[in-house]
Structure 1
Amino acid sequence: MAERPTTSWRRGIAEEAEELAAGTLDPDCACMAGLFPEELLVATDAVLDTFEAELPALPEADDAQVFAMVERVVLALNVVTPTTSAPSKPTSARRCATPSTRPSPSMASTS
């Protein structure tokens, strides 16, 4: 199964905390914990738990049922992360990103 985004976000938060503790990251460039607060991570995982619990029914589902399942998860994630506060990488975070973490040009143009 694919890795949940929350797993990646938590890993990024931990890596950033390690870099801050080691003094290898400018505190002004730290953004992960602010972009992905624990409340967001827990709520996102709850939505994904529900979605994963419904997955075993997919082989017997018709197209309408599959689309309904996808719609439910998308709408639930929209509630968890309203458009006005959706995590996005601020300009300062992009400027501070190391080459390995710098967003691709296609991602940067959408922020």
Structure 2
Amino acid sequence: LFIGSDAFNCCTFLSGFLLLAGTQDGNIYQLDVRSPRAPVQIIHRSGAPVLFLLSFRDGFIASQGDGSCFIVQQDLDYVIELTGADCDPVYKVATWEKQIYACCRDSLIRRYQLSDL
């Protein structure tokens, strides 16, 4: 059992035992389900609600209620920002091959073409 800092909005598995969970106050918790009482790490980029999390390559994609959408690599050495949504929430993200699609409250679906990371 793990109690977060605020309401949880989304979660996804990174592996067979690593879980990500995003909260209303902008925290992203990485939890080991074998020992979930304390997070492995906490990522906080803004106070906006974390709306969506998706495992991606060696890391994950997150979207937030302030228009932030970004890719975090597993080693956390760098973050790739997916720009364009401005301040409108990004509700959902999908991947296909080297493309990322993001849908936003501004009525647009954005496509991002990625080279090798």
Task: Give TM-score, length-normalised by structure 1.
Answer: 0.19
Structure with greater proportional helix content: 1
- Point out the structure with max Rg over C-alpha: 1
Higher relative contact order (CA 8 A, sep 6+): 1
Task: Give TM-score, length-normalised by structure 2.
Answer: 0.19
